[in-house]
Amino acid sequence: MSLANLGPSGFQPGAWRWLIERVWRLEHAFERSRAAAKPEDDTRIRIFFVMAFFGLCFVGLGLGASFSALFAHVGRGNGFLASTEGARGDLVDRDGRLLAVDLTHYALYVDPREVWDKAEARRALGKALPEVPAKRLDKVVFGDRRTFLLGGLTPEQKANIFDLGLPGISFEEQGRRMYPLGATAAHLVGFVDSGGRGLAGAERALDKPIRLAAGGGGPTALSIDIRVQAALEDELRKAAIEFQPRGAVGLVTNVHTGEILGLASYPDFDPNKAGTATDDQKLNRAAGSVYEMGSTFKAFTVAIGLDTGVATPTSTFDAREPYKLGYRTIHDYHAAKAILNLVEVFKHSSNIGTAKLAVGVGAQRLSQYFNNLGLTKPAKVELLESARPLTPRKWNEDAVASTSFGHGMNVTPLALAEAMGPLLNGGTRPPLTIRKLPQGVRPEGPRVLSEETSQQMLRIMRANVIPGEGGSGGKADVAGLSVGGKTGTGEKYDPALKAYNHQRQVSSFAAVFPTEGPLEADRYFVLILLDEPKGNARTFGFSTGGWVAAPAAGRVIERIAPFVGIRRKAEIVSVANSTTANPGTGL
């Protein structure tokens, strides 16, 4: 068989023949050298052959490395170069402002075997590192082996210690997650452990994509706008300082996209020092705490009544006497003692009128709507802290009446925000998200209400805020921004009393702006919630939602409107039914 036919498949015969000829020629050269008794030529030829082979290998390796460096995008997230263990990509807000970043820090080691004067080294390190306990320094400096002393040193701190000129001192690089804005957006951004694993907030919810981004995939953009976040936190903190609640929550969402533009939980903490924060400080009350939301639920009941056709804005309800339902009697906090139409029931926050409407809707339909609104499940959002609601075991008339005005059902503030979306955006329920969506994208959600019902709710919520119109939300009004909303004051159940405690309340205000304009127009939801606030002289002792939460919501709206592109306009009052009545106590 010819050598030319022994080539590998796919190899050209001509090229294969050329290679065989060269190999045979080389071998014949070896044979001629041996035949001529010149072994030095044999050796010289073999050395040349080996050098040529290795030379070609090195040239190939060099060309391959050059190609990878120039064209293969090593380190740009394509898998050729794995990121450092524990490394994470940057987190930024929706406009690219930095929220979290990995920075190089240094770990300090001491090898006492190389220290000439241990007493002097101990004195110098004690002065340079006052945060290190004295016993720890003694153990390390006067020990017998190289030992880790302190981690997380910044380059400046490292330089200061290095300049001491102490023998036996060494440093090792270590990555460290830093949050340049400190406590700002701490509960939404979250924090990581010492190994770079996300433990809370976006750091935990988006742990995998953030880690992958460390290989050069670019920053992970969150939905929040840091300007909106700062204004929300500032106003929430002011309200908390004034009314001294156990805790507080602030939310701003885009009702069309579900994007969370701001999330605040009070008290807060610094994620750079998460280990020193208490569990109460680290608790994300917006996602992880459930509350009886009180009269904010009346917005859902009214919307359901309208959507089912059980009521219209002009339907009337007799609220002149308490409503007896089975073994219980329902009262109004601020009794109107009048026959009220549906808009007035909403504006006066009438428990009697709302309960009668809910009974007309019926247990089956009411519970189904609550389920469709997302109130019977954890809020659909990436945050893993999102807590499950507490719902009635049995949907009987008592449960229907109680839940219609926000008792007997505990939900998270995020679940409330998600459920408010259909009332304000045309009737669909997009999921909430902490990730920035592409410009112009509006996720599709299941239809819950008709467009007509949503339009009616915008008008009714606006009627509740117009000053001088008798609504409970007048203190949230901002001239030219067409604010609507609903107050909420849920009394907290006291197990010791086995009854609701009138002195302990969850006071809130659920706002929307602007209410005017087409359904598809940009629109935003704002929630302020205070857990057990205390009234003061300015509020005449009242601690209800209209007194303690509505003003803060109005101030947030006034401050953030320019950031979300909403301009003030001349007020156009357009409500389903406008009546003049004495302002209530802000229930």
pLDDT digits (tens, 9 = 90+) for 256-307: 999 999 999 999 999 999 999 999 999 999 999 999 999 999 999 999 999 9
Structural tokens at position 498: 């086995």
3-class SS of residue 524: strand
With b for 16 or more beta-carbon neighbours within 10 A and e for fewer, the 485-495 pattern comes to: bbbbbbbbeee
Q: Which residue has the higher pLDDT, 244 or 2?
A: 244
pLDDT at res. 251: 98
Residue 149 lies in a domain: yes
Return the active site residues: 295
Q: How far is the C-alpha of 322 from the C-alpha of 11, rounded, in Å?
A: 97
Count of positions (residues) in the chain: 587
Q: For residue 450, give the DSSP letter.
A: -
Residue 460 lies in a domain: yes
97 and 21, same domain (yes or no): no
498 and 552, same domain (yes or no): yes
46 and 119, same domain (yes or no): no
Average pLDDT, the chain: 87
29 and 101, same domain (yes or no): no
Nearest to 234 by CA among 563, 556, 510, 483: 556
397 and 252, same domain (yes or no): yes
129 and 262, same domain (yes or no): no
CATH (domain of 533): 3.40.710.10
Residue type (1 letter), 489: T
Residue 346 lies in a domain: yes
Residue 391 lies in a domain: yes
Q: Which of 178, 196, 218 is the last residue of a domain?
A: 178
**Is the distance from CB of 460 to CB of 302 less than 8 angstroms?**
yes
CATH (domain of 148): 3.90.1310.10
Residue 35 lies in a domain: yes
289 and 142, same domain (yes or no): no
Residue 506 lies in a domain: yes
Whether the predicted pLDDT of 528 surpasses 50: yes
Dihedral sign for Cα 310, 312, 315, 318, please: positive
- By the 10 Å C-beta count (0-12 exposed, 13-18 middle, 19+ buried), 57 is classed as exposed
3-class SS of residue 251: strand
298 and 374, same domain (yes or no): yes
Whether the predicted pLDDT of 385 surpasses 70: yes
**Is the distance from CB of 422 to CB of 451 less than 8 angstroms?**
no
Residue 332 lies in a domain: yes
44 and 108, same domain (yes or no): no
519 and 448, same domain (yes or no): yes
410 and 541, same domain (yes or no): yes
Residue 311 lies in a domain: yes
292 and 393, same domain (yes or no): yes
pLDDT at res. 82: 37
Cα pseudo-dihedral 475, 418, 399, 500, rounded to 10: -50
Q: For residue 83, give the DSSP letter.
A: P
Q: How far is the C-alpha of 419 from the C-alpha of 255, rounded, in Å?
A: 10
Q: List the domain range (segments joined by +) for residue 22.
A: 12-50
**Is the distance from CB of 432 to CB of 287 less than 8 angstroms?**
no
**Number of domains observed in the structure of the chain:** 3
pLDDT at res. 35: 60
* Pairing status of strand 220-221 against strand 91-92: parallel
